[in-house]
């Protein structure tokens, strides 16, 4: 990722990759010093230590910042510093709650919680966000009330040689550096341990560094402007903090409702399953997340129907265990035996696919089987699933009838059908294809 000075500056995805690389390298350096076997991020114990390291670093540094800012705000009567000190107080609460979340989320499965307690970190994030919004909102109300009582903005009385300027300014410069260090460490640890709590705390630290820059700039600008803009800055800072809290609520609520794993995880999982010779194809992939690092997957796999059943069973059992060991994804595989090299099955499968494609190229056909009527060689039963795009779900019956009519037109045999209809959300592999196609079109 390194580039020499003759190359243009990185932008877009490349710049994000470089930044992410810096985050991870910084986190690796800290993890190497404090975490045994820090590279084994598949281990729950190691991921827990990542959470403890990030939370404790944030707790200690935020305590120092809160103490310095609250003292300066009262000594020099700066509402902006007081607002930012309250923000640091919420950060302290966030780190404490993050520690609790890491502990509870790492607890193993139990009778009451058979999938573990990893989703507790989402609840912790919600509580943290509500705390941020309440504290920041109260600061806005207090600042506006004080401005009304004092008759609005007051003339600036900044003396750059006075402690009332350079002490708060020095505190804010230190705050910028410390918050940036939190951002790099926490987001780097989050990427290694896939922790939503650390990621949210790291993003909040990045926002706080911007807030500290704004406050430092307001201290410098008050004299040239001629007015004490501290109250205005305090309100702006508080509103930015509120927006940060709302963003955290949105992310946590989405995670609680259930989110799709990233395309990278889906593709890695599918590629890993496809590498086994037994697997002729896979479809109907579902993934359920229980916390940021606990994923359960359910997938249908096409296998050669001529293989002995016990051979298939043993190989599938091996694939499930290896997938969980190497990818950390607990997997359940449903086998779909298919006839290989059967001309009649292949022919009717092509008929069905062609009929579906005539209606819409995005219709997928899964779980195809052909059964003969033992009492009548001219009667067959076609069993398959149709996966419809969203805009065709309301026309399900019409689509089924058109497929039946088209297939019947290809043959003189008496054909019966057993058709199940699903939407594309029933198969994450189809959603992945949709995303990749949209990306190529852009």
3-class DSSP assignment, residue 283: strand
Q: Residues 398-437: pLDDT tens digits?
A: 999 999 999 999 988 889 999 999 888 788 888 888 788 7
Q: Residues 335-357: pLDDT tens digits?
A: 999 888 889 999 999 999 999 99
If phi > 0 it is left, if psi is from -120 to 50 it is alpha, else beta; for residue 331 that is: beta
Looking at residues 360-375, what average pLDDT do you find?
87
Q: Residues 140-197: pLDDT tens digits?
A: 887 788 778 777 666 655 555 566 667 778 888 898 999 999 999 988 888 887 776 7
Token duo for residue 345: 């099955």
Token duo for residue 287: 């993934």
For residue 13, the model assigns a pLDDT of: 42
DSSP calls for 368-395: EEEEEETTEEEEEEEEEEEEE-GGGGGG
Token duo for residue 237: 């800072």
Of the listed ranges 73-77, 112-116, 339-343, 374-378, the least confidently predicted one is: 112-116
The percentage of the chain sitting over the pLDDT mark of 90, rounded to a whole number, equals 23
3-class DSSP assignment, residue 40: coil
Token duo for residue 203: 């993003």
DSSP calls for 351-371: HHHHHHHHH-TT-EEEEEEEE
Domain annotation for the chain: domains and CATH numbers: 12-257 (1.20.1510.10), 263-441 (3.30.70.1350)
Strands 329-338, 281-289: pairing is: unpaired
Closest Cα to residue 143, out of 231, 51, 39?
231
Neighbours of 145 (CB within 10 A): 10
3-class DSSP assignment, residue 285: strand
**pLDDT for 304 beyond 60:** yes
DSSP calls for 287-315: EEESSTT-EEEEEEEEEETTS-HHHHHHH
CA distances from 121 to 90, 126, 145, 208, 260 (A): 17, 9, 36, 21, 17
Looking at residues 72-87, what average pLDDT do you find?
76
Mean pLDDT of the chain: 80
Cβ proximity of 359 and 399 under 8 Å: yes
Cβ proximity of 282 and 301 under 8 Å: yes
In 3-state terms, the chain is what percent helix, strand and coil (to 5)? 65, 15, 20
Q: Measured between alpha carbons, how far is 292 from 7 in angstroms, rounded to an integer?
A: 37
Which residue has 């003759």 as its token pair? 6
Q: Measured between alpha carbons, how far is 93 from 130 in angstroms, rounded to an integer?
A: 11
Whether pTM > 0.75 for this model: the answer is no
Q: Measured between alpha carbons, how far is 85 from 212 in angstroms, rounded to an integer?
A: 11
Neighbours of 206 (CB within 10 A): 17
**pLDDT-based confidence at residue 11 (cuts at 50, 70, 90):** very low
């Amino acid at each position: 990722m390194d580039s020499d000075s003759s190359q243009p500056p990185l932008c877009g995805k490349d710049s994000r990759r470089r930044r992410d690389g810096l985050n991870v390298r910084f986190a690796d350096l800290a993890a190497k010093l404090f975490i045994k076997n820090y590279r084994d991020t598949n281990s729950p114990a190691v991921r827990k230590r990542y959470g403890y390291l990030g939370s404790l670093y944030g707790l200690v540094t935020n305590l120092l910042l809160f103490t310095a800012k609250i003292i300066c705000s009262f000594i020099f009567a700066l509402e902006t510093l007081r607002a930012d000190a309250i923000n640091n107080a919420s950060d302290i609460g966030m780190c404490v709650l993050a520690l609790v979340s890491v502990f509870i989320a790492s607890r193993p499965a139990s009778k009451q919680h058979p999938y573990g307690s990893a989703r507790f970190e989402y609840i912790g994030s919600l509580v943290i966000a509500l705390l941020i919004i309440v504290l920041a909102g109260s600061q806005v109300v207090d600042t506006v009330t004080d401005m009304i009582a004092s008759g609005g903005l007051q003339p600036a009385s900044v003396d750059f040689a006075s402690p009332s300027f350079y002490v708060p300014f020095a505190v804010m410069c230190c705050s910028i550096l410390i918050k940036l260090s939190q951002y790099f460490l926490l987001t780097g640890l989050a990427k290694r341990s896939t922790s939503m709590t650390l990621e949210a705390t790291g993003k909040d630290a990045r926002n706080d560094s911007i807030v500290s820059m704004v406050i430092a700039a307001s201290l410098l600008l008050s004299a040239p402007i001629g007015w004490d803009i501290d109250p205005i800055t305090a309100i702006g800072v508080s509103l930015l903090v509120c927006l940060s809290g709302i963003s955290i609520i949105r992310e946590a609520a989405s995670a609680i409702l259930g989110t799709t794993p990233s395309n990278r995880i889906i593709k890695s999982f599918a590629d890993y399953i496809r590498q086994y010779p037994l697997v002729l194809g896979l479809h109907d992939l579902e993934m359920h997340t229980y916390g940021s690092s606990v994923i359960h997957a359910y997938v249908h796999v096409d296998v050669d129907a001529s293989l002995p059943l016990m051979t298939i069973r043993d190989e599938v059992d091996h694939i499930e265990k290896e997938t969980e060991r190497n990818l950390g994804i607990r997997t359940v595989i449903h086998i779909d035996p298919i006839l290989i090299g059967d001309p009649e099955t292949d022919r009717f499968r092509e008929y069905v696919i062609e009929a579906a494609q005539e209606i819409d190229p995005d219709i997928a056909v899964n779980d195809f089987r052909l059964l003969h009527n033992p009492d009548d060689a001219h009667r067959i039963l076609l069993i398959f699933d149709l996966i419809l795009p969203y805009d065709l779900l309301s026309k399900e019956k019409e689509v089924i009838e058109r497929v039946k009519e088209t297939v019947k037109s290809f043959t003189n045999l008496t054909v019966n059908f057993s058709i199940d209809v699903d939407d594309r959300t029933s198969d994450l592999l189809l959603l992945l294809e949709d995303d990749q196609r949209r990306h190529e079109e852009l």
